[in-house]
A and B are shown apart, each in its own frame.
Chain A
């Protein structure tokens, strides 16, 4: 066989164990020259672990082999090795420097890796102009990246990855880790055209996406991971959408009836959202009843993650109003956390280290921050009473160690989350919003958090949980709302509210129009 026919990249028997859990379990992956290879799987299927092994972030378990351009490569890789080996990554955040120009971004590696003094700008400009012209990108070399549209930024990032491949010795493998979810459809087309022209001269690309339709459109071959194993690998031409979804989910998808005309909530609603727009969302309506636990989910970029932020005012919505607890037409474009808290709304953010609590301040201060005024009496902040209350809540929510004087930053992820949840539940809010509440939280703690939420909901608190953990949503929600491309696609209710039902609804094609929104 011709040397060209041998795979450009071959992974054999790749495993990775984290504390006894197999993130990857004997994975094989073969990418031929000139091929665009789709890599699919739900969250936690092992995609990101695989990428991180190739990027040199994780060392694989012994026994794995990696062949690149026909040569065996010693594992584990070290961070930065991939450049020399002919691998190039484009991550979702693209890794561009906004304040620098297109030229500087495109030639970043060449400039930084070049001579210590004296940059030959005319040579850099020539090389950059050549790349831009070759792929017909039509980008002005002197514009700063912050002025570019999201599509142009993605194109630039991919073109740069190609430049790096070229600099590393010609052909190589481009790894595209979900570059598309925030791009409009026309932009995705352009991106695909660029990918095609890059692989035309014998390089290959691995394209990671949640979007089955995109995978079908652009890839030649597709590999699906499920629970750390290869669930299947096949040629894309001739594969149907159903085949692939079945591989992702591990079973036949019965067409989940886009059914259940969402009936009116049993009780008068506590929260009614009207035409909320902003982020990925476009005119979304939603009602939540007292005591109801509603899950919001969808594929990344579908907008499910924006709604809770807007209701609380953590970010401003572009447009939209809400009725809440008797107050009508609250303008979400002007909502602030302060105003939301005053109405009895609470918010547990996903970004715990940055937004959940201040690491260098005590657990007690972090727990009581919104309630400080209660402890201010007779002109004195009663610190001992505040600590006492924090200890009490710590015991109730099983914070370990229950020492309110410790720095918040000293707690483990799960315990830090318990502190944040205790902070809000101690105020008996009317509506609790949670964004990925159990990310980085151990299983035992997870259960405790669920129980606490259920107890409070039983007493009438409404809950909205935004998450992509389908199992968790199935476990705690009365209803799960599925988002797709910025609007609500479906309402799933118990019974029939299972992890699989949620997953297949997320991956389902946009159904017909007989779709109300609750």
Chain B
């Protein structure tokens, strides 16, 4: 084979890899549409999905920041729940203006991130252990704050801002997700910070020996993840119109699955915000379709769990190959 054909084959393969997930997604939509032309294939169905998956999408973006720097944040789901419940307690129960309540929720999220960073970076405890601990700790606090009961009556201002107002029939929350995805894309690809984040994750010693303040980058990533989880919580409260002290935790797994699945697409081998957002909607499409087909509720967990493992497997294969084929 000549170099030219080899190169063009490689380019074709790379293209295929980049958009494989999008292709599978299209096939999935087509399949469900054929099966349920009247119920699945309808604009309201899609717009509802765009809105209701927004919290998971933001959560996925939150997760990939520390993952890129080499740390896990398992507390993101609990952090989301905390943020939603802070809003419920302050706004619905104590009548605090919604703006202030949101600010408090965001502060809480950033504070949780800071706490994680303190233990992970400063005291060098593995991130899995620390965030597993904070996750449980936060869930406990949430149960205490809410008396384990759903708080309804959150300001319609927030509900309107998240799902009430629609542009082209699509809830605003979806546009928030797109905006955050693009912001993430910008930071990852078009700032020195994004490059440093990658080096800290893929070659920590290299980063250190090239003058990168590894501790600061890791802490920054964890705090950003905390803050973004709280943003996801605000959107979640808006989507539901209430604060649910238990269901938020269920978003963690699909968000993780989406983070890894996202790493197989757009920029294969890298955790990337756009890919993660696409993956969230891919998973949501699958689950919505299955549910409408009448598949029992437990299938959701099976689907998400299998997707996570497969996504990790695929992204690892993609990585392994991309190094080997260039040697």
Contact = CB atoms under 8 A, between A and B. Distances in A.
A356 B208 CA distance: 11
Contact of A349 (B209, B211, B212): B209
Contact of A369 (B190, B194, B195, B269): B195
Contact of A370 (B202, B210, B319): B210
A226 B209 CA distance: 37
A358 B206 contact: yes
A376 B192 contact: yes
Interface in A416-448: 423
B68 to A, nearest CB: 12
Given A376-B191, A381-B191, A358 B208 contact: no
A295 interface: no
Contacts of A7: none
Contacts of B189: 381, 383
Interface stretch (A95-103, A121-129, A406-414): A406-414
B8 to A, nearest CB: 16
Nearest to B327: A410
Contacts of A365: 195, 198-199
A360 B322 CA distance: 9
Contacts of B327: 410
A361 B199 contact: yes
B267 to A, nearest CB: 12
B323 A355 contact: no
B202 A354 contact: no
Given A407-B323, A410-B327, A381 B192 contact: yes
Contacts of B4: none
A381 B208 contact: no
Interface string A3-15: 0000000000000
A347 interface: yes
Central interface residue in B203, B207, B210, by most chain A CB within 10 Å: B210
Contacts of B205: 354-355
Contacts of A383: 189-190
Interface stretch (A19-27, A280-288, A336-344, A495-503): A336-344
Interface string B189-233: 111101110110011011111111100000000000000000000
A410 B323 CA distance: 7
A449 B206 CA distance: 21
B224 to A, nearest CB: 18
Contact of A337 (B194, B196, B199, B209): B209
A56 interface: no
A360 B269 contact: yes
Central interface residue in B191, B209, B211, by most chain A CB within 10 Å: B209
A254 interface: no
B302 interface: no
A372 interface: yes
A380 interface: yes
Contacts, number: 80
A86 interface: no
A373 interface: yes
Contacts of A361: 198-199, 202-203
B194 A381 contact: yes
A314 interface: yes
B239 to A, nearest CB: 32
Nearest to A351: B205
Given A369-B199, A407-B323, A409-B323, A337 B190 contact: no
B124 interface: no
A406 B203 contact: no
A406 B324 CA distance: 12
A373 B193 CA distance: 9
B211 A337 contact: yes
A312 B212 CA distance: 14
A380 B198 CA distance: 17
Contacts of A46: none
Nearest to B326: A410
A359 interface: yes
A372 to B, nearest CB: 4
B211 A355 contact: no
B202 A360 contact: yes
B228 to A, nearest CB: 21
A354 B322 CA distance: 19
B192 A355 contact: no
Contact of B326 (A357, A369, A380, A407): A407
Contacts of B202: 358-361
A248 B14 CA distance: 55
Nearest to A339: B211
A198 to B, nearest CB: 39
Contacts of A356: 206
Given A342-B211, A360-B269, A369 B191 contact: no
Interface in B303-327: 319, 322-323, 326-327
A358 B210 CA distance: 11
Interface string A359-382: 111000110011011011000110
B211 A359 contact: no
Nearest to B319: A360
B199 to A, nearest CB: 6
A409 B319 CA distance: 12
Contacts of B194: 381
Given A372-B196, A381-B194, A410-B327, A357 B322 contact: no
A380 B190 contact: yes
Contacts of A410: 323, 326-327
B218 to A, nearest CB: 15
Given A337-B209, A361-B199, A383-B189, 11 more contacts: A337-B208, A338-B212, A355-B209, A358-B203, A361-B202, A369-B206, A369-B212, A370-B211, A376-B192, A406-B326, A409-B323
The 6 closest A-B pairs by CB, nearest first: A358-B203, A372-B192, A410-B326, A341-B211, A338-B211, A369-B210
Interface of A: 312, 314, 337-338, 340-342, 347, 349, 354-361, 365-366, 369-370, 372-373, 375-376, 380-381, 383, 406-407, 409-410, 423
Interface of B: 189-192, 194-196, 198-199, 202-203, 205-213, 269, 319, 322-323, 326-327
25 contacts: A341-B211, A342-B211, A354-B206, A356-B206, A357-B203, A357-B206, A358-B198, A358-B199, A358-B202, A358-B203, A358-B207, A359-B202, A360-B322, A361-B198, A361-B199, A369-B212, A372-B196, A373-B192, A376-B192, A380-B190, A381-B189, A407-B322, A407-B326, A410-B327, A423-B210
